[in-house]
Structures are given as structure tokens and as C-alpha cells.
Amino acid sequence: MCGIVGYTGGKQAYPILIDGLKKLEYRGYDSAGVALLQDRGVTVFKKEGKVAKLEAHVGVSDVASHTGIGHTRWATHGEPCDRNAHPHLSRSGRIAMIHNGIIENYAQLKTELLKEGYVFHSDTDSEVLLNFIEDIQIKNECSLEEAIRIALKRVTGAYVILLIDQAYPDTIIAARKGSPLVIGIGQNEHFLGSDASPMLAYTKEVVYINDYELAIVKPDELILKNLGNEIITPYVQKLDMELAAIEKNGYDHFMLKEIFEQPQTIFDSLRGRMDAQKNQITLSGIDAIADKIMAARRIIIVACGTSWHSALVAEYVIEELCRINVEVEYASEFRYRNPIISSEDVIIAISQSGETADTLVALENAKEQGATIYGLVNVVGSSIARISNAGSYTHAGPEIGVASTKAYTAQLAVLQLIALKIAKLKGTIDDQKFTYFIQQLDAVPEKVQWILDNQVEEIQRIAKKYSDANDVLYLGRGYNFPTALEGALKLKEISYIHAEGYPAAEMKHGPIALVDETLPVIFVATKDSYHEKIVSNIQEIKARKGKIIAIVSEGDNRVEELADDIMVVPNCDEIIAPLLAAIPLQLLAYYIGVERGLDVDQPRNLAKSVTVE
């Protein structure tokens, strides 16, 4: 959370920083600010709210500068307001700093500084760290770089920090632990960002900075060091991403664009990995740890939010096809509850961003205890991808809408491949069934396209009809129980309507008390082995006058007769159904959010990449 950008080079820094902040706004939008190195010293502009408000605030001020840093905030310490916005200035006014992360021992550092007479102008942990650095620099009469190194050895928590100091023209000093930092290399210029999107228009050569590394960045020089002051050779990588991938391309919102991209992104996630002719799935990550998987006593899947929902689907699929015990864990619980882990465990981590703090730390802990980590990640080069022993990318491309859509279905697609691949290795699937599932998966992109071509108008109508609801219940069974959870999560985050997902049969044990003629109940009722059961559940809700909205398989007249409204998906095997059923629920949440006049790409209080615990 929080987006950071930096630029030093021959161009004007301000427009690059503003454009970069807009690209990173998905990481937080409580406030925005920039600091520029100018002839007269360091100038800071900052404002509560989105980047557009910052631009209006800056207006026609003098922003001429070739070196600057910028920040878009997701508030942790201190309410969103101008005062708490970054960049912060040090006591001398000489140094400006932006920070993404949390300094856990900031209170102790603050007490020390208060005793020294420091006065703080914000409630942030970041301002404390900045003054702690300056205090060290003054007392030790050392360089800024040295002061940062000393300070960071005393700091606990997570950070990416970028500093500019009027004593060091053209220079940005950056350091990272636990939050992402990418440096883009241009012609006599460098770009810094929480991800590569701010630099994509200028360069495709990037360096991903690792934990405990410090970068001294000048237009024509990038020096990388560890906290022990040893020089590290930067590992330059080529970005495989086009600018169009991070633009709206005519859609009203990124979320809508990303929903409509799914036929392609699902195709991309499967591409080159399955061969129906040869009856083969190629996943080099699984091959790399095949011996561990064969010997594993169980697979633990660790994730948060939407990724946790795809983990639940995977639990059902892997146990069914591979006959191996699977446990699904919330990363935030797993990391703190002292789980029993050994070298006989294989852990699959699922994460779109690859930066989710809870997932990352849960993996670090498990790795220390000998477990093998398999990362299923969307963002190439992200922290989770890098600490994994092996893994697969989901290849969904950049997901910018805060609510996850295409990354979710790409996760589901690759998890299906993983299950099939493991089943083949373990011999728990016969050739005929294997071919059948490959064919089923192969048909998914086309079926998703069918939903997008044929159901959008009807879903818009349903969205209008129920957009005033106060509560919505989502029910599903079996493979589509997680679909119900995901549908409810999408609606909550986009429309601010209270929504709950439940296993359909479980509603009799409590939630049924909520049902009256005002409650919309969304059933994920595609044709599967639970179908008769879910039809009974629909009857139970109908008998209590709840409004029934059902996702049904094409041609299912029975549920159509019972339901007030239906959203249709093509027929498919029940194992594949979550990939299709997710689409109408994403669209429904989107159109309800739009109907309510909300900012669906940047819902309140949320941020895309949750890099704080």
C-alpha cells in the first residue's frame, strides 16, 4: 500500500511524478504529494485526497526541477489529511522523504527524539524515521547514505523509503525492506516506483531492489549497496509489458476492462501449458519440485482475500483429482498461530500482487521451517515470486482495478492445471479423464466470451433492480461455495452493500433468519452433482419470500421457473464451473457500483497491494 515514485534525469520531474502517481493510485488514495529538488532547496507540495486534488493545489506554482519524489498514501499512522500526507520534511527542512510501510518501533524512536527537542508536524511513523535519520547524520557528521544505513539497522517493520537532500543535487537515495521497489534505467535518467507502471513509457530495463538494499540514484549512475556498505551488482531485467496494458483503452473503468479481458487472460494463463494431443501439461515449476510433491504429506495453500477464495476452489479440485490432503489458510492467521510445519509440507502461496505482507511473512516463516514454497503470482518479479522455491505466473497482465477480477480467474485456471499435473504425477487420474479436463479447460475462454456477449444487458437490468438493497446473501455449494464468497466480497467492496457468502445448506443454521421479501439471495446454481440439493435450498428461500437471483447453466428451465431473475452461463464440468460463474458476479457487482454512483476502480478505504499487515 502507498505508491512511491521518483525521477532524476534531464526531463522535468514534476509531470513524470504526477503521471506515475496516477498509475500507482490503486495502491492508496488518501493523499498525494511530491518533493522537488530546486535551486532554492527542497520544495514540497501535498494534499489530502487523490492526485487530481494535488495537481489543482499545485496550480501554476514553480515546479521546475529535474529530481523529485512522489507519494500516494493509504493511511496507517494518522488520519488522511494534508498534515499526514507525504513527503515529510526533516527538522532542518533540508531533506524530504516518502515512505511505504510501517515502522513498528516508531514510538520508541519518537520518545528519544522528543527528548532531544524534536517537534513533529504529523502523526506518522514516517516523519519519525526521517528525523531519526537526520539526527544520526548531524550527530555522527556523516553522509546521508551512512546515516540511513545506521538508522535502518535500528528500525523494525517494513519500508521503502526515498529521500532527497538539498546537499546532494540530482540524487535520490532509496532503501527497501518488505515493500516493493523497482528502478527503471533510461538514457542518463532513472525512474523509481512501487511497480514498473510509472516507468513503462520511458524504459523497459528495470532492477528489482531486494530487502536490505540501498540505492544511490543519480541521472547517470545507479549504485546498489547492502546495509553493510558492500557494493552489489544490479541485476537488470527486461520488462515484458506494454503501455496499453495499463491504460483503460476506451472502457469507463479498469474493472470493466479487466472483466472483458478475461477470455484473453484465461487463454494466456493456459497458453503453452497444456497439450490435448499429447495429453500433457507442462508446468516447469511443478516439475522442479515434483519429488517434494510426491513425498508431501499435505499441501497448504496460503492467501488473502480473493486469492484465498481461489485457494478454496483449489482445495476441492486437488483433493478430488489428486487424493492429497489440502489445507487452506488465511495468511494473516497462519503467520501468527504457530502452525506445525515440516519439510514434508508443500505450501502454495497465491497472490495477485506478490507483495501482500501477511502472505509474504507467512511464507518466510514456513520456509525457515523447511517447507517447500510454490508461488502462484501475477506480478512478475514480485517479492513472493522471488522467495518461492518454484512457481507459476498467472499471466493475467497488470490488474489495476482495486477489485480483483481477471487475476482471480487466471488463478483458477492455473490451479486447475496444477491439480491435473499433480494428478498425472501421482497416477490418480486416467488418460481419458485427463484429456476430458484438458478439453474442458480449453473451451473456457470461448465460454467466458459467450457470457460477455450475451448476458451483459440482462445483468445491467438486474443490477438496476437490486441496487438499493441493504443486504445480499450469496449461496453456493461444492466447487461453487467459494464462488458465493467471492461474489459477496466483490459486491461489498464495489457497492458498499453488506453481502455474505455461505454454503447453501448452511443457511438453515442461522442466516435464513435474515430472509424476507426485501432480501435478494443470489444462488450459484449451475448444473453439478449438488444441483438437486441447491434447488431444494432455492425452494426454502422462496417459501420465505426472499428474492431469488440465480446463476444457471444454459437450458436449466427448472431453476429459471423458480427464480425472479437469472444470469446464464454455458454448460461445463462442475470442476470448471467456478471459472464461468465468477463472471456474472463480477459484472453484477460492477454495475451495481456504477448504478450507485461509486468509484468502482478505487473503492473507499481499500488499496490494491496490501503491503502492511
Q: Could you give the residue numbers annotated as active site?
A: 2, 608
Which of 178, 193, 219, 305 contacts ligand F6R by CB under 6 A?
305
Whole-angstrom Cα distance, residue 115 to residue 134?
15
Sequence-ordered alpha helix ranges (H) in 87-243: 106-115, 125-140, 144-154
Burial class (CB in 10 A: 0-12, 13-18, 19+), 599: middle
Q: How many CB atoms lie within 10 A of CB 453?
A: 9
CB of 610 to ligand F6R, least distance (A): 5
Binding mask of the shown chain, residues 486 to 515, with x at each position contacting ligand F6R by CB under 6 A: ---x---x----------------------
Grid cell listed for 271 = 497458453
Which residue, 241 or 606, is less far from ligand F6R as judged by CB?
A: 606
- Whether the CB-CB separation of 171 and 67 falls below 8 Å is answered with yes
CB of 379 to ligand F6R, least distance (A): 8
Is residue 379 helix, strand or coil? coil
Contact flag: residue 310 with ligand F6R (CB under 6 A): no
Contact flag: residue 383 with ligand F6R (CB under 6 A): no
Which of 403, 499, 525, 567 contacts ligand F6R by CB under 6 A?
403
First-to-final CA distance of the chain: 10
Contact flag: residue 397 with ligand F6R (CB under 6 A): no
Residue the block writes with cell 517537534 = 119
The b/e string for 280-313 (b: 16+ C-beta within 10 A; e otherwise) is ebebebbeebbebbeebeebbbbbbbbbbbbbbb
Which residue, 203 or 405, is less far from ligand F6R as judged by CB?
A: 405
Element (H, E) at 466: helix 456-466
Alpha carbon of residue 84 to chain centroid: 25
Which residue, 101 or 570, is less far from ligand F6R as judged by CB?
A: 101
CB of 404 to ligand F6R, least distance (A): 3
Q: Which of 149-153's residues contact partners 24+ apart within 8 Å by CB, and which partners? A: 149/214, 149/227, 149/229, 152/177, 152/212, 152/214, 152/227, 153/227
Q: Which residue is nearest to ligand F6R (CB)?
A: 305
Which of 43, 203, 356, 394 contacts ligand F6R by CB under 6 A?
356
Contact flag: residue 258 with ligand F6R (CB under 6 A): no
Contact flag: residue 332 with ligand F6R (CB under 6 A): no
Whole-angstrom Cα distance, residue 598 to residue 590?
10
Element (H, E) at 269: helix 262-270
Contact flag: residue 329 with ligand F6R (CB under 6 A): no
Whole-angstrom Cα distance, residue 36 to residue 43?
5
Stretch that binds ligand F6R, among 176-184, 244-252, 303-311, 442-450 (CB under 6 A): 303-311
CB of 376 to ligand F6R, least distance (A): 10
Contact flag: residue 409 with ligand F6R (CB under 6 A): no
Stretch that binds ligand F6R, among 139-147, 192-200, 253-261, 304-312 (CB under 6 A): 304-312
Element (H, E) at 268: helix 262-270
Which residue, 353 or 455, is less far from ligand F6R as judged by CB?
A: 353
Which residue, 490 or 547, is less far from ligand F6R as judged by CB?
A: 490
Candidates 385, 392, 384; CA nearest to 413 is 392
Binding mask of the shown chain, residues 584 to 613, with x at each position contacting ligand F6R by CB under 6 A: --------------------------x---
Grid cell listed for 128 = 519519525
- Whether the CB-CB separation of 221 and 168 falls below 8 Å is answered with no
Contact flag: residue 351 with ligand F6R (CB under 6 A): yes
Contact flag: residue 304 with ligand F6R (CB under 6 A): yes
Which residue, 95 or 328, is less far from ligand F6R as judged by CB?
A: 328
CB of 558 to ligand F6R, least distance (A): 32
Contact flag: residue 262 with ligand F6R (CB under 6 A): no
Contact flag: residue 194 with ligand F6R (CB under 6 A): no
Which residue, 26 or 168, is less far from ligand F6R as judged by CB?
A: 26
Interacting residues with ligand F6R (CB under 6 A): 304-307, 351-353, 356, 359, 403-404, 489, 493, 610
